[in-house]
């Protein structure tokens, strides 16, 4: 018996009690007036007939007066009536049916009609929801795309399964009224069941599997149903088919050409998924037709050269010459292998005759790491172009099946997709699902049915398609582009394909996938299959096909000849985000970063007031603003004001400032408060920084999702779009940056060396040993310093503007400012430098409110600048040659040291020097200090453990400064595995111990003796 009939039976047997429970849901059974109470709310499809007598009640009420029931019931019963045969109709005339309440047969027959319709509707819905599970997606026909060969009985693939729905073979020729949730009828409103099933199978179980019924938006579901169910919708003109064939020829012959010329070179060819090229081109054509003129793409290794050649249209000789082992590198830096390089190209889209800019972002080997970077870059382009809803700029991300399922950053990136400050208004994802990851079978590589399931979290529709059916692929790509244009939401195309060779061309796949590769060897090439098809259809002749092949082969041969003339490789030709200002800076100087007093006053006033009427802020915030106002009145700055001065003054100069990270709007430590919240009205906010000057640049401050990898990658991408922006990412606590380590290692530290691409991103990393335990304490300065490329053993020459030259030469700048003014200066310097370089700032926690850690407006006055090193200006400076100990330190420990020195009355004996810029190491200034304090012992003091912090970076450089002639002593915590202790008293004991070491003026001498 069908589940449906069984349900009705149970209901009838229950005797109409007040409640029934099923599937964990409690439904109230309502009988009396059909229009009021739940009956007026519940529609036929929602009810799914929770009670047979309920339906009967409804039906009889409708027969008495159509208006007494909800209009959806009215439509429902009308449909049933109109699909009945004439004989049945006569029998069911209202009067007959009403009498039928008395006559024994009629209600049963009515019930059967209702039940059968509901069964057909349920069947239609089953196809829509789960038809993709039985679609023929694998071109090899050996694996099942959802990793499950079991066909559930509600998925009808043959008529014998009709019984599941309580239907019978004899029902196949009965006509049924179609619900408004299907488009299989085309112009028809009723169809025989046989036709219903055939059309559903064609729509949902052929070479396309559409996964979309989890989307909880009716309009979007209807849109998709219409795109896939409408009869004959997947038709192509001859011209379209010819274009598709031509693109497939290029894609296939490109790989063939590379294989012929460089048979022993790795190229991560596209063989088995050649259709990717026409797929991308179709997406771009359709998007261009919809108004898109800039497409930013990210992709992994597979097929990358082909995409560069045939989608972006990079000159073929530029690609081919990369295979030449004698090619010399013109640029400094490491460069990168050819299948990681990026590219930027403006051209005319031939299909639409419109301009289009395509850029493929350079990426590291780390799969999926580029995803958030692409999104950030796309968002920035949209932002700077005023493309408010992504109608001009869009992103496309390509993925491998194993990586898409396995890498967490994919999920993190999806979660940015709908956030106001991070959305790119819909990304088209294309998965090259070759059903293998290197040597690993998908059954061992993921727990989800499809590699694409991660996309379901954001309600993105997923179009699975058999990649050996190029027309189906084209159709799906067109729909995906239209979807993005219609709804500005993400969409996924899952190209179910195979990988004809090993992971790379040198790899033997038969070691691990013997059966799969036996099948692959038998598999006819898609180009052969499709060209045969078009020839048999008469769309092209064999001769035309062969001519097209020969034409492209000649293009490749010609490019191959001219590639031989290329002797030097310029990575600049591979830039994915060129800036007009890029290249050698005109002068290696940086102007002072100080500000006019009135600018400081103006920013200070805005920062400490609420410049809108009737806006109630929290009383605690009022207190904070009052104390800010006091500071401003006294010409003083705390940390938050220092930051305000930097941002506000840059905004004044037309520099966009964007600060992103977890809880940055208020600030983790509640010191910033850049967004004011009205205490009475939900979502009424005010950002004073955006109301500083009439023609200022915009300020963006945005709380991010709880992701470091995704958000830092995004901001890095954002910072790539323009040099005229200060883009900052703040970690909640500095140590959390380690979950974004890949972005730091692969892009920030080494990006310029690999891809000659500058980036001025700023990382704000709260750091400090404050007894808060092993976590939340250290931003791991040692890691950043270890990756700094300045040579510890080389003493540089100090010609010209050494400070700026050194910054230009390094891979990033690492600072730890001890004063708000210096923090402000370094942020301003970041923009006033004639080039862009990543800046890592260890920012304070307790110093944010420390009364000693304040600056005066004078420290920011016109003509002042960032101090890379702050000398001791206290009593020790009066007679430096009498100073017995010179302590170098950085950051917050300075304040502990000065306090202790005072207590021990050693202010003349000990000088304390603050290193504000740690890397690149200020050799010039350190040298001057060392020479000034000739007879002093040299000590490095840090609050971090000896194996962490700065010591291992600073020590060899200090030794280089003194030419190894004076010892460098250490005062700080002992080596340790955890960054800090979790025990408060241990923390204080450690502090006391190293403070004692720092000021025991005979301690090191004893060790020396
Ligand atoms: C983060 C990361 N881990 C591991 C690797 C090593 N690796 C390179 S390709 C590959 C398999 C990728 O499989 P898939 O995503 O399906 O792409 P395909 O090579 O099949 O196109 C692996 C594991 C890598 N590049 N990146
Ligand atoms: Mg794969």
Inform me whether the pLDDT recorded for 47 exceeds 60.
no
- Please tell me the predicted confidence (pLDDT) of residue 21: 27
| Ligand nearest to the Cα of 366, by number | 1
Tokens representing residue 470 in the block: 């190029």
| Ligand nearest to the Cα of 268, by number | 1
Q: Give the DSSP letter of residue 65.
A: -
Name which residue sits closest to atom 26 of ligand 1, judged by CA.
366
- Please tell me the predicted confidence (pLDDT) of residue 266: 84
431 lines ligand 1 (CB under 6 A): no
At a CB cut-off of 8 Å and minimum separation 6, what does 356 contact? 284, 288, 292, 293, 294, 295, 346, 347, 348, 349
Cα–Cα distance measured from residue 552 to residue 756, given in angstroms and rounded to the nearest whole number: 32
Q: Mean pLDDT over residues 254-263, rounded?
A: 93
Average pLDDT over the chain, rounded to an integer? 89
Q: Mean pLDDT over residues 726-744, rounded?
A: 97
Write the CA distances from 1000 to 443, 878, 946, integer angstroms: 65, 22, 18
pLDDT tens digits, 826-848 = 999 999 999 999 999 999 998 99
Cα–Cα distance measured from residue 376 to residue 386, given in angstroms and rounded to the nearest whole number: 15
Atom of ligand 1 lying closest to residue 369 CA: 1
292 lines ligand 1 (CB under 6 A): no
Cα–Cα distance measured from residue 959 to residue 572, given in angstroms and rounded to the nearest whole number: 38
| Ligand nearest to the Cα of 405, by number | 1
Write the CA distances from 666 to 232, 580, 687, 733, 775, integer angstroms: 56, 36, 11, 14, 22
φ, ψ (nearest 5 deg) of residue 121: -65, -40
Cα–Cα distance measured from residue 297 to residue 301, given in angstroms and rounded to the nearest whole number: 13
655 lines ligand 1 (CB under 6 A): no
Inform me whether the pLDDT recorded for 44 exceeds 80.
no
Tell how far the Cα of 253 is from the centroid of ligand 1, in angstroms: 25
pLDDT tens digits, 291-323 = 999 999 999 999 999 999 999 999 999 888 888
- Please tell me the predicted confidence (pLDDT) of residue 26: 28
Tokens representing residue 757 in the block: 């691409």
Atom of ligand 1 lying closest to residue 407 CA: 1
500 lines ligand 1 (CB under 6 A): no
- Please tell me the predicted confidence (pLDDT) of residue 574: 78
- Please tell me the predicted confidence (pLDDT) of residue 270: 96
Tell how far the Cα of 455 is from the centroid of ligand 2, in angstroms: 17
pLDDT tens digits, 367-400 = 999 999 999 999 999 999 999 999 999 999 999 9
- Answer with the residue of higher pLDDT: 295 or 752: 295
Smallest CA-to-CA distance from 739 within 772, 713, 777 is with: 713
- Please tell me the predicted confidence (pLDDT) of residue 556: 96
What is the best residue among 271, 274, 402, 513 to mutate for testing ligand 1's pocket, by most ligand atoms within 8 Å of CB? Answer: 402
Tell how far the Cα of 147 is from the centroid of ligand 1, in angstroms: 20
Q: Mean pLDDT over residues 644-662, rounded?
A: 98
Tell how far the Cα of 145 is from the centroid of ligand 1, in angstroms: 19
- Please tell me the predicted confidence (pLDDT) of residue 506: 86
Confidence label for 581 from pLDDT (cuts 50, 70 and 90):
low
Exposed (0-12), middle (13-18) or buried (19+): which is 966, by Cβ within 10 Å?
middle
In this structure, the chain runs to a length of: 1009
Place of tokens 């299959």: 529
Name which residue sits closest to atom 22 of ligand 1, judged by CA.
438
**829 touches 650 (CB < 8 A):** no
Tokens representing residue 942 in the block: 């840090």
Number of helices followed by number of strands (H, E) in the chain? 36, 30
Maximum mean pLDDT: which of 86-90, 148-152, 961-965: 961-965
Tell how far the Cα of 437 is from the centroid of ligand 1, in angstroms: 6
- Please tell me the predicted confidence (pLDDT) of residue 790: 93
402 lines ligand 1 (CB under 6 A): yes
437 lines ligand 1 (CB under 6 A): yes
pLDDT tens digits, 273-285 = 999 999 999 999 9
pLDDT tens digits, 221-231 = 999 999 999 99
Q: Mean pLDDT over residues 333-337, rounded?
A: 75
| Ligand nearest to the Cα of 496, by number | 2
Name which residue sits closest to atom 12 of ligand 1, judged by CA.
437
434 lines ligand 1 (CB under 6 A): yes
400 lines ligand 1 (CB under 6 A): yes
Inform me whether the pLDDT recorded for 36 exceeds 70.
no
pTM score > 0.85 for this model?
yes
438 lines ligand 1 (CB under 6 A): yes
Q: Mean pLDDT over residues 456-478, rounded?
A: 98
Query: What SS3 state is found at 660?
Result: strand
Atom of ligand 1 lying closest to residue 503 CA: 19
pLDDT tens digits, 81-110 = 655 444 444 334 333 333 333 334 467 788
Inform me whether the pLDDT recorded for 810 exceeds 50.
yes
In 354-406 the beta strands, taken as DSSP E runs, fall at 354-360, 393-400
Write the CA distances from 997 to 93, 286, 353, integer angstroms: 103, 71, 75
**555 touches 496 (CB < 8 A):** no
Tell how far the Cα of 298 is from the centroid of ligand 1, in angstroms: 15
Atom of ligand 1 lying closest to residue 438 CA: 11
Tell how far the Cα of 498 is from the centroid of ligand 2, in angstroms: 8
272 lines ligand 1 (CB under 6 A): no
686 lines ligand 1 (CB under 6 A): no
Confidence label for 38 from pLDDT (cuts 50, 70 and 90):
very low
269 lines ligand 1 (CB under 6 A): no
Atom of ligand 1 lying closest to residue 432 CA: 21
Cα–Cα distance measured from residue 234 to residue 216, given in angstroms and rounded to the nearest whole number: 26
Inform me whether the pLDDT recorded for 983 exceeds 70.
yes
Taking only Cα atoms into account, the Rg of the chain, rounded to an integer number of angstroms, comes to 35
Tell how far the Cα of 754 is from the centroid of ligand 1, in angstroms: 20
Tell how far the Cα of 279 is from the centroid of ligand 1, in angstroms: 22
Place of tokens 């990168």: 336
Q: What angle in degrees, to the nearest 10, is found between the helix axes of 3-13 and 106-130? A: 130
Helix (H) or strand (E) holding 519: helix 514-522
What is the best residue among 339, 370, 397, 403 to mutate for testing ligand 1's pocket, by most ligand atoms within 8 Å of CB? Answer: 403
Cα–Cα distance measured from residue 299 to residue 854, given in angstroms and rounded to the nearest whole number: 48
Write the CA distances from 277 to 283, 374, 499, 791, integer angstroms: 10, 20, 15, 45
Helix ranges (DSSP H) in 342-369: none
| Ligand nearest to the Cα of 404, by number | 1
- Answer with the residue of higher pLDDT: 780 or 22: 780
432 lines ligand 1 (CB under 6 A): yes
CA 973 vs. chain centroid, Å, equals 39
Inform me whether the pLDDT recorded for 35 exceeds 60.
no
- Answer with the residue of higher pLDDT: 257 or 55: 257
Smallest CA-to-CA distance from 669 within 816, 895, 848 is with: 848
Tell how far the Cα of 406 is from the centroid of ligand 1, in angstroms: 10
| Ligand nearest to the Cα of 436, by number | 2
- Please tell me the predicted confidence (pLDDT) of residue 88: 43
Place of tokens 């970041």: 830
436 lines ligand 1 (CB under 6 A): yes
Tell how far the Cα of 714 is from the centroid of ligand 1, in angstroms: 22
Tell how far the Cα of 403 is from the centroid of ligand 1, in angstroms: 6
Give the DSSP letter string of 459-510: T--EEEEETT-HHHHHHHHHHHHHHHHHH---EEEEEE---SS-SSTT--GG
pLDDT tens digits, 710-732 = 999 999 999 999 999 999 999 99
Tokens representing residue 772 in the block: 């808060």
Write the CA distances from 296 to 330, 403, 715, 728, 821, integer angstroms: 27, 20, 15, 22, 39
Name which residue sits closest to atom 20 of ligand 1, judged by CA.
437
685 lines ligand 1 (CB under 6 A): no
Name which residue sits closest to atom 1 of ligand 1, judged by CA.
366
- Please tell me the predicted confidence (pLDDT) of residue 82: 59
Query: What SS3 state is found at 349?
Result: strand
Give the DSSP letter string of 904-931: TT-TTTEEEEEESEEES--HHHHHHHHH
- Please tell me the predicted confidence (pLDDT) of residue 18: 29
Give the DSSP letter string of 154-176: TS-SSGGGGGGGT--GGGGGSEE
Inform me whether the pLDDT recorded for 424 exceeds 90.
yes
Q: Mean pLDDT over residues 407-411, rounded?
A: 98
- Please tell me the predicted confidence (pLDDT) of residue 885: 98
- Please tell me the predicted confidence (pLDDT) of residue 322: 83
- Please tell me the predicted confidence (pLDDT) of residue 14: 36
Smallest CA-to-CA distance from 91 within 101, 80, 100, 104 is with: 100
Tell how far the Cα of 741 is from the centroid of ligand 2, in angstroms: 25
Confidence label for 757 from pLDDT (cuts 50, 70 and 90):
confident
């Amino acid at each position: 018996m069908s589940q449906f009939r069984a349900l009705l039976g149970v209901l009838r047997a229950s005797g109409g009690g007040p409640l029934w429970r099923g599937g964990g849901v409690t439904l109230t059974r309502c009988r009396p007036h059909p229009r009021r109470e739940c009956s007026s709310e519940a529609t036929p499809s929602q009810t799914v007939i929770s009670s047979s007598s309920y339906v009967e009640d409804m039906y009889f009420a409708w027969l008495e007066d159509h208006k007494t029931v909800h209009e959806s019931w009215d439509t429902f019963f009308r449909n049933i009536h109109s699909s009945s045969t004439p004989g049945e109709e006569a029998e069911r005339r209202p009067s007959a049916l009403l009498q039928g309440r008395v006559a024994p047969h009629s209600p049963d027959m009515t019930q059967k009609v209702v039940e059968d319709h509901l069964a057909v509707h349920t069947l239609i819905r089953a196809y829509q929801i789960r038809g993709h599970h039985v679609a023929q997606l694998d071109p090899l026909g050996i694996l099942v795309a959802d990793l499950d060969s079991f066909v559930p009985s509600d998925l009808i693939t043959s008529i014998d399964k009709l019984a599941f729905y309580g239907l019978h073979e004899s029902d196949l020729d009965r006509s049924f009224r179609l619900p408004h949730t299907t488009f299989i009828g085309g112009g028809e409103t009723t169809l025989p069941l046989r036709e219903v099933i055939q059309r559903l199978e064609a729509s949902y179980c052929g070479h396309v599997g559409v996964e979309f019924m989890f989307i909880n938006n009716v309009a979007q579901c209807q849109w998709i149903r219409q795109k896939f169910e409408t009869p004959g919708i997947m038709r192509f003109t001859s011209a379209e088919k010819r274009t598709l064939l031509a693109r497939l020829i290029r894609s296939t012959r490109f790989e063939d050409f590379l294989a012929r010329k460089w048979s022993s070179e790795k190229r991560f060819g596209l063989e088995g998924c050649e259709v990717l090229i026409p797929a991308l081109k179709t997406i771009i054509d359709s998007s261009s037709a919809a108004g898109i003129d800039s497409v930013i793409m990210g992709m992994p290794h597979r097929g990358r050269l082909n995409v560069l050649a045939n989608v972006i249209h990079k000159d073929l000789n530029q690609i081919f010459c990369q295979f030449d082992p004698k090619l010399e590198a013109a640029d400094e830096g490491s460069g990168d292998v050819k299948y990681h390089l990026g590219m930027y190209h403006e051209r005319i889209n031939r299909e639409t005759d419109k301009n289009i800019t395509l850029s493929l972002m350079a990426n590291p080997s780390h799969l999926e790491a580029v995803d958030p970077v692409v999104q950030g870059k796309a968002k920035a382009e949209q932002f700077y172009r005023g493309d408010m809803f992504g109608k001009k700029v869009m992103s496309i991300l390509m993925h491998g099946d194993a990586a898409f399922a396995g890498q967490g950053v994919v999920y993190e990136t999806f979660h940015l997709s709908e956030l106001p400050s991070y959305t790119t208004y819909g990304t088209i994802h294309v998965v090259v699902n070759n059903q293998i990851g290197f040597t690993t079978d998908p059954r061992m590589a993921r727990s989800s049915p499809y590699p694409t399931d991660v996309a379901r979290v954001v309600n993105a529709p997923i179009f699975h398609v058999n990649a050996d059916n190029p027309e189906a692929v084209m159709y799906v790509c067109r729909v995906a582009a239209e979807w993005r244009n219609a709804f500005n939401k993400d969409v996924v195309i899952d190209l179910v394909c195979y990988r004809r060779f090993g992971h790379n061309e040198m790899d033997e796949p038969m070691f691990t996938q013997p059966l799969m590769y036996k099948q692959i060897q038998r598999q006819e090439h898609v180009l052969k299959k499709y060209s045969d098809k078009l020839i048999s259809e008469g769309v092209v002749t064999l001769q035309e096909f062969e001519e097209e092949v020969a034409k492209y082969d000649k293009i490749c041969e010609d490019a191959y000849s001219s590639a031989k003339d290329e002797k030097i490789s310029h990575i600049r030709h591979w830039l994915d985000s060129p800036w007009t200002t890029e290249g050698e800076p005109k002068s290696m100087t940086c102007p002072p970063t100080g500000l006019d007093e009135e600018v400081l006053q103006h920013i200070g006033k805005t920062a400490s007031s609420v410049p809108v009427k009737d806006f109630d802020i929290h009383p605690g915030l009022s207190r904070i603003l009052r104390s800010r106002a006091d500071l401003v009145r006294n010409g003083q700055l705390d940390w938050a004001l220092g930051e305000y001065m930097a941002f506000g003054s840059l905004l004044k100069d037309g520099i966009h400032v964007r600060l992103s990270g977890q809880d940055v709007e208020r600030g983790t430590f509640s010191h910033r408060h850049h967004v004011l919240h009205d205490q009475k009205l939900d979502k009424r906010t005010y950002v004073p920084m955006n109301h500083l000057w009439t023609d200022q640049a915009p300020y963006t401050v945005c709380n991010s999702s709880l992701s470091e990898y995704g958000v830092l990658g995004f901001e890095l991408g954002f910072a790539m779009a323009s040099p005229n922006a200060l883009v900052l990412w703040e970690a909640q606590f500095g140590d959390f940056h380690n979950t974004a380590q890949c972005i730091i290692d692969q892009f920030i530290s080494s990006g310029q060396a690999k891809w000659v691409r500058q980036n001025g991103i700023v990382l704000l990393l709260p750091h400090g040993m404050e007894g808060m335990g092993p976590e939340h304490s250290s931003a791991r300065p040692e890691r950043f310093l270890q990756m700094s490329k300045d040579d510890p053993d080389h003493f540089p020459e100090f010609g010209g503007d050494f400070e700026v030259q050194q910054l230009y030469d390094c891979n990033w700048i690492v600072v730890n400012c001890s004063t708000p003014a210096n923090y402000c200066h370094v942020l301003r310097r970041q923009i006033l430098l004639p080039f862009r370089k990543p800046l890592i700032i260890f920012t304070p926690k307790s110093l944010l409110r420390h009364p000693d850690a304040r600056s005066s407006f004078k420290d920011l006055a016109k003509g002042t600048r960032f101090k890379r090193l702050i000398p001791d200006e206290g009593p020790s400076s009066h007679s430096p040659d009498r100073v017995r100990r010179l302590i170098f330190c950085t950051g917050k420990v300075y304040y502990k040291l000065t306090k202790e020195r005072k207590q021990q009355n050693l202010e003349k004996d000990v000088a304390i020097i603050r290193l504000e810029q740690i890397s690149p190491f200020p050799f010039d200034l350190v040298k001057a200090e060392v020479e000034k304090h000739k007879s002093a012992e040299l000590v490095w003091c840090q609050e971090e453990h000896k194996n962490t912090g700065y010591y291992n970076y600073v020590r060899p450089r200090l030794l280089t400064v003194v030419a190894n002639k004076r010892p460098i002593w250490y005062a700080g915590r002992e080596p340790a595995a955890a960054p800090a202790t979790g025990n408060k008293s241990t923390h204080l004991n450690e502090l006391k111990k190293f403070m004692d070491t720092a000021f025991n003026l005979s301690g090191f001498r004893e060790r020396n003796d």
